[in-house]
Amino acid sequence: MFFWKTWKALQAQGVMGINRRNADYVLKYNKRHLYPVVDDKILTKERAIAAGINVPEMYGIIDTEKDIDKFDSIVAPYSDFVVKPAQGAGGDGILVIADRYEGRYRTVSGKIISHEEIEHHISSILSGLYSLGGHRDRVLIEYRVTPDEIFKSISYEGVPDIRIICLMGYPVMGMLRLPTRQSGGKANLHQGAIGVGVDLATGLTLKGTWLNNIINKHPDTTNPVEGVQLPDWNGFMTLAASCYELSGLGYIGVDLVLDQDKGPLILELNARPGLNIQIANDTGLTARCHLVEHHLAALKKAGKTETVDERVAFSQLHFGAQLNAEPSDTQPSPEPA
Ligand SMILES: Nc1ncnc2c1ncn2[C@@H]1O[C@H](COP(=O)(O)OP(=O)(O)O)[C@@H](O)[C@H]1O
Ligand SMILES: [Mg+2]
């Protein structure tokens, strides 16, 4: 039986609301001067590369109108690629080109677009149409991720991504986001993608949420979204946890993808990760965050810090979910000795 709870009822279970997220986590743990690293995807990529973390390869950057004619030479060696606003959000302004067709381009959802249309799109990105606050922006052209075969049956076109929220480098909640026909190949929930909870201990998927309803089948492929084992789950957890060192930000949403050839890659980091992940997991963030905070306080008292692997082990020990478990009455478990 699936059911929909009101936000109020969820709050009673320790679901984090936007005010608490902003005051107790975003403002407290994320220093303002570090925001540019995550709010600009080009900077994030440069940071990740410097830290030895895999990301989709950057093919080129266009930062002025007069550089728009560099586009042809940037993409000449590739038949597929992605054009995106460096400071975009929510999947807006992203063009995923899958193929070429008689001098034109074919997007992942099959739309044919002309060269002029791409140039116009690039010009719109530069003018700030998709950037946070409408500021002038840069255009990033990068490797197109081909999703791992595992996602074929539960995804419609495009690339699913895995969002892991980390507090001080401890993964606290995860969600697999699956593109649908409606989301145009993008894995953003407000474009119409599905969010599916993930058991942090095992990487097994839980139930899904689509357009604010709990679902158990993908609407386009009709395959169940629950009980799918994500491959290399420890690899994902480790990558996500290591983004604390990379960014210096204490409360982030790490977006990862699994490329058929290159394995787990970091797509982007978010300093104000959304709260819908709680609906997908049927569990609140508050209790999990409190447990990490208690643990950190205990470590501090003992003059200790933990490595990435120790942090991942802590999260896997405490934030696993039993498949088909009763909805969260999650209480912080007692601190380990
Ligand atoms: N290099 C890529 N290859 C294939 N799909 C991509 C690529 N980059 C982004 N996408 C798709 O677009 C979605 C949004 O991309 P992302 O970089 O996270 O930007 P945003 O900040 O707008 O969410 C991703 O979840 C993925 O589905
Ligand atoms: Mg994203």
* pLDDT(330) > 90: no
The rounded distance, in Å, linking the Cα atoms of 108 and 147 is: 12
Mean pLDDT score, 45-57: 94
| Ligand 1 mutation target, pool 54, 162, 186, most atoms within 8 A of CB | 186
Q: What is the pLDDT of residues 2-21, one digit of tens each?
A: 344 555 666 666 899 999 99
The rounded distance, in Å, linking the Cα atoms of 33 and 23 is: 17
Give, using CA atoms, the residue closest to atom 22 of ligand 1.
Answer: 91
Q: What is the pLDDT of residues 269-325, one digit of tens each?
A: 999 999 999 989 999 999 999 999 999 999 999 999 999 999 999 999 999 986 434
Rounded to the nearest angstrom, the distance between the alpha carbon of 192 and the centre of ligand 2 is 13
Pick the CATH number of 57-142 from 3.40.1000, 3.30.1490, 1.10.1060, 3.30.420: 3.30.1490
Give, using CA atoms, the residue closest to atom 26 of ligand 1.
Answer: 186
Give, using CA atoms, the residue closest to atom 21 of ligand 1.
Answer: 89
Report yes or no: 41 and 61 within 8 Å, Cβ to Cβ: no
Rounded to the nearest angstrom, the distance between the alpha carbon of 40 and the centre of ligand 1 is 13
Cα dihedral across residues 139, 194, 211, 237: positive or negative: negative
Rounded to the nearest angstrom, the distance between the alpha carbon of 304 and the centre of ligand 2 is 34
| Ligand 1 mutation target, pool 82, 267, 272, most atoms within 8 A of CB | 267
Q: What is the CATH number of domain 7-38+148-318?
A: 3.30.470.20
Query: Which atom of ligand 1 is the closest one to the Cα of 161?
Result: 25
Q: What secondary structure does DSSP assign to 221-236, as a single string?
A: T--B-TT-B-TTHHHH
pLDDT score at 7: 59
| Ligand 1 mutation target, pool 38, 75, 78, 96, most atoms within 8 A of CB | 96
Site residues for ligand 1, CB cut-off 6 Å: 56, 82, 88-91, 94, 96, 142-145, 158-159, 161, 179, 186-188, 255, 267-268
Report yes or no: 119 and 68 within 8 Å, Cβ to Cβ: yes
pLDDT score at 39: 93
Query: Which atom of ligand 1 is the closest one to the Cα of 143?
Result: 1
Amino acid of residue 290: H
The rounded distance, in Å, linking the Cα atoms of 206 and 196 is: 6
Tell me which residue has tokens 């070429």.
Answer: 100
How distant, in Å, are the alpha carbons of 180, 229, 295, 316 from that of 154? 9, 12, 37, 25
Query: Which of 46-60, 217-231, 246-260 bottoms out in mean pLDDT, i.e. has the lowest?
Result: 217-231
Neighbours of 7 (CB within 10 A): 11
Rounded to the nearest angstrom, the distance between the alpha carbon of 52 and the centre of ligand 1 is 21
Query: Which atom of ligand 1 is the closest one to the Cα of 93?
Result: 22
Domains 7-38+148-318 and 57-142 share a fold: no
Rounded to the nearest angstrom, the distance between the alpha carbon of 48 and the centre of ligand 1 is 16
Query: Which atom of ligand 1 is the closest one to the Cα of 142?
Result: 1
The rounded distance, in Å, linking the Cα atoms of 335 and 329 is: 18
Higher-pLDDT residue of 219 and 252 is 252
The rounded distance, in Å, linking the Cα atoms of 256 and 134 is: 26
pLDDT score at 185: 80
Rounded to the nearest angstrom, the distance between the alpha carbon of 266 and the centre of ligand 1 is 10
Give, using CA atoms, the residue closest to atom 19 of ligand 1.
Answer: 91
Rounded to the nearest angstrom, the distance between the alpha carbon of 247 and the centre of ligand 1 is 19
How distant, in Å, are the alpha carbons of 55, 145, 256, 266, 273 from that of 52? 9, 19, 15, 11, 24
Give, using CA atoms, the residue closest to atom 25 of ligand 1.
Answer: 187
Domain boundaries in the chain?
Answer: 7-38+148-318, 57-142
Buried b (16+ CB within 10 A) or exposed e, 316-337: bebbebeeeeeebebebeeeee
Rounded to the nearest angstrom, the distance between the alpha carbon of 255 and the centre of ligand 1 is 9
Q: What is the pLDDT of residues 151-194, one digit of tens each?
A: 888 888 889 999 999 999 999 999 999 999 888 888 888 889 99
Q: What is the pLDDT of residues 56-91, one digit of tens each?
A: 999 999 999 999 999 999 999 999 999 999 999 988
